[in-house]
Chain A
Amino acid sequence: MAGKPVRPVSAIDQTRRMLSLVTYLRERPGARVADVARAFGITEDELVSDLDVLPMCGTSFRGGDLLDIDTDGERIWWHNPAALGEEAAEPLRLAADEATALLVAARAVATLPGLREGDRQALLRATAKVEAAAGEAAGASARLSVTFESEGGVFADVDRAISERRRLWIRYYSPARDEVTEREIDPIRLVSVGHTYVEAWCRRSEARRTFRLDRVAEIRILDEPAAPPEVELRDLSEALVQPAVEDPEVVVEVGPGGRWVAEYYPHDSADELSDGGLRITLRTPDPASLRRLALRLGRDGRIVSPPELADSARRAAREALAAYDGVEAARDADADGR
Chain B
Amino acid sequence: MAIAKAERLMNLALCLLGTRRPLSKRELRDSIEAYVEAVRPEKGAAGSEDSFNRMFERDKDDLRELGLVIETVENLDGEVGYLARRDSNRLPPITLDAEEAAALGLAAKVWQQARLAGAASGALQKLRAAGLPEDVDPYEAHGALEPRIPVHEAAFEPLMLACRDRRPVVFEYRKATAAHPEPRHVEPWALECWRGHWYLAGWDRDRGAERVFRLSRITGRVRSRGSGFTAPVPDVVTVRETVASWAGEIADRSALIRLRSGAGYPLRAKARSVRELGDGWDELEIPYGHGLDAWLVEFGPDVVVLEPAELRADVVDRLRAVAKG
A102 x B108 contact (CB < 8 A): yes
* B residues 136-175 touching A (CB-CB < 8 Å): 137-139, 142-150, 160, 163-164, 174
> Does B274 sit at the interface, judged by CB under 8 A?
no
B66 x A16 contact (CB < 8 A): yes
* B residues 88-136 touching A (CB-CB < 8 Å): 88-96, 99-112, 114-131, 134
Query: Given known contacts A4-B109, A147-B194, is B319 in contact with A112 (CB within 8 Å)?
Result: no
Binary per-residue interface labels of chain B (233-261) against chain A in the complex, 1 for a CB within 8 Å, 0 otherwise: 00000011000000000000000000000
Chain B residues whose CB sits within 8 angstroms of the CB of A126 once the complex forms? 96, 100-101, 103-104, 107
Chain A residues whose CB sits within 8 angstroms of the CB of B142 once the complex forms? 119
Query: Given known contacts A143-B189, A145-B192, is B19 in contact with A59 (CB within 8 Å)?
Result: yes
How big is chain A's contact interface, by range? 35 or more
Q: How far is the CA of A123 from the CA of B191 in the complex (A)?
A: 22
A133 x B99 contact (CB < 8 A): no
Chain A residues whose CB sits within 8 angstroms of the CB of B93 once the complex forms? 133
**Which listed residue, A99, A142, A237, A298, touches B318 by the CB 8 Å rule?**
A298
A87 x B86 contact (CB < 8 A): yes
**Which listed residue, B14, B124, B193, touches A102 by the CB 8 Å rule?**
B124
* Residue in B closest to A292 when the chains form the complex, CB atoms: B298
B67 x A94 contact (CB < 8 A): yes
> Does B18 sit at the interface, judged by CB under 8 A?
yes
> Does B301 sit at the interface, judged by CB under 8 A?
yes
Chain B residues whose CB sits within 8 angstroms of the CB of A106 once the complex forms? 103-104, 107
* Residue in A closest to B94 when the chains form the complex, CB atoms: A133
Q: How far is the CA of A251 from the CA of B92 in the complex (A)?
A: 58
Query: Given known contacts A93-B89, A129-B100, A317-B322, is B14 in contact with A59 (CB within 8 Å)?
Result: yes
> Does A269 sit at the interface, judged by CB under 8 A?
no
> Does A248 sit at the interface, judged by CB under 8 A?
no
> Does A182 sit at the interface, judged by CB under 8 A?
no
A109 x B319 contact (CB < 8 A): no
* Residue in A closest to B161 when the chains form the complex, CB atoms: A97
A84 x B294 contact (CB < 8 A): no
Binary per-residue interface labels of chain B (53-93) against chain A in the complex, 1 for a CB within 8 Å, 0 otherwise: 00000000011011111000000000000000010111111
Q: How far is the CA of A88 from the CA of B31 in the complex (A)?
A: 17
A102 x B120 contact (CB < 8 A): yes
Closest Cβ of chain B to A46, distance in Å, is 11
A147 x B193 contact (CB < 8 A): yes
Query: Given known contacts A15-B66, A101-B116, is B103 in contact with A143 (CB within 8 Å)?
Result: no
Closest Cβ of chain A to B129, distance in Å, is 4
* Residue in B closest to A145 when the chains form the complex, CB atoms: B192
**Which listed residue, B67, B100, B163, B195, touches A195 by the CB 8 Å rule?**
B195
> Does A337 sit at the interface, judged by CB under 8 A?
no
A101 x B112 contact (CB < 8 A): no
Q: How far is the CA of A20 from the CA of B301 in the complex (A)?
A: 63
> Does B176 sit at the interface, judged by CB under 8 A?
yes
Contact segment of A73-81, A201-209, A308-316: A308-316
Binary per-residue interface labels of chain B (293-325) against chain A in the complex, 1 for a CB within 8 Å, 0 otherwise: 011011111111010000010001111111101
> Does A144 sit at the interface, judged by CB under 8 A?
yes
> Does A105 sit at the interface, judged by CB under 8 A?
yes
* Residue in A closest to B90 when the chains form the complex, CB atoms: A90
> Does A222 sit at the interface, judged by CB under 8 A?
no
A97 x B119 contact (CB < 8 A): yes
> Does A241 sit at the interface, judged by CB under 8 A?
no
Q: How far is the CA of A191 from the CA of B179 in the complex (A)?
A: 36
* Residue in A closest to B3 when the chains form the complex, CB atoms: A56
Chain B residues whose CB sits within 8 angstroms of the CB of A316 once the complex forms? 300-301, 322
**Which listed residue, A15, A92, A96, A98, touches B62 by the CB 8 Å rule?**
A15
A57 x B107 contact (CB < 8 A): no
B196 x A3 contact (CB < 8 A): no
In the A-B complex, the 7 residue pairs with the closest CB atoms = A194-B196, A276-B179, A95-B67, A59-B18, A316-B300, A91-B130, A98-B123
Chain B residues packing against A (C-beta within 8 Å): 3-7, 9-11, 13-15, 17-19, 23, 27, 31-33, 62-63, 65-69, 86, 88-96, 99-112, 114-131, 134, 137-139, 142-150, 160, 163-164, 174, 176-180, 189-197, 216, 239-240, 262-266, 269, 294-295, 297-304, 306, 312, 316-323, 325
A-B contact pairs, 12 of them (CB 8 A): A16-B66, A16-B122, A60-B32, A91-B130, A95-B122, A96-B164, A126-B100, A178-B299, A189-B145, A194-B194, A294-B322, A323-B301
